[in-house]
Amino acid sequence: MYNTSFPDPPTFKPVFEKLRREEEEIKRQNTKEIAEAMLQEGLPIATVIKVTGLNEDELDEIQHQN
């Protein structure tokens, strides 16, 4: 009968992707703050790496920021 074409429905994928990236960045920042506190308390670097999952370069960066 009628051959009507409708536009594609809007997608929220870009919005969800942006939120996901922001959430990951917040988690990463929190992890770095925890690592910094652990280092200030004098915990061994190996322990901080094991607990936080950060690598040695990231810990060096944290230590040199202070």
Q: What is the pLDDT of residues 8-44, one digit of tens each?
A: 778 899 999 999 999 999 999 999 999 999 999 999 9
For residues 58 and 5, give the distance between their C-alpha atoms in angstroms, rounded to a whole number. Answer: 53
Asked whether residue 6 carries a pLDDT value surpassing 80, the answer given is no
Is the whole model's pTM more than 0.85, yes or no? no
Which backbone phi and psi does 10 adopt, to 5 degrees? -65, 150
* Closest by Cα among 57, 28, 51 to 38: 51
Which uninterrupted H or E stretch holds 12? Answer: none
Conformational region of residue 42, where left means phi above 0, alpha means psi within -120 to 50, and beta covers everything else? left
